[in-house]
A and B are shown apart, each in its own frame.
Chain A
């Protein structure tokens, strides 16, 4: 099992350009998440998807859109990149159950994005 994979690993964009960050998981998880990580601010949730066909906003959704293409894939799109979106982006997945048990989120290796 590859776990959670993300592409690309690195990307440089100019202000106003668009791009899509790809994420896939092979653990048959229902829930998937997109976070951004900035120095001194920890991880902040951008969007999440509790199941195939559903998405919802997290803490910092402005400037982003997401697509839950199928159970495996969850993409994050920047329509018009801004320097404030320079960050490291992490995708995660989990088999969340409200019945019992801890929430273990499995993270991808991250995409480092620089917007000039």
Chain B
């Protein structure tokens, strides 16, 4: 079945770049997503990438997609303490887009001042 894997924890210093990695199994997913969860809150969509793209940039965020290796990454430039949160990657469940998502375990990003 479909599966999404992430490392659980990343610690960086303020001002450094953060790179959060994710691997997924369903090669038919049309979109892949990054969600952010701040303490005590629900998830919010951070960014997404269409599966026929290799890269997407949105201000401080860069998403890289390697379809051959089924590897997705999120780079946050100039990481700030406000970026401390849990980051989830997600892919569509099942073949094609069905509306349901499979989430990874989440990567806790700790930003030290």
Contact = CB atoms under 8 A, between A and B. Distances in A.
A41 B102 CA distance: 11
Interface string B79-109: 0000000001000110011111111111000
B8 A104 contact: no
Contacts, number: 63
Interface residues of A, number: 26
Given A96-B99, A109-B42, A102 B105 contact: no
Interface stretch (B43-51, B58-66, B67-75): B43-51
Nearest to B104: A42
B42 A90 contact: yes
Interface of B: 4, 6, 8, 31, 33, 40-45, 48, 50, 88, 92-93, 96-106
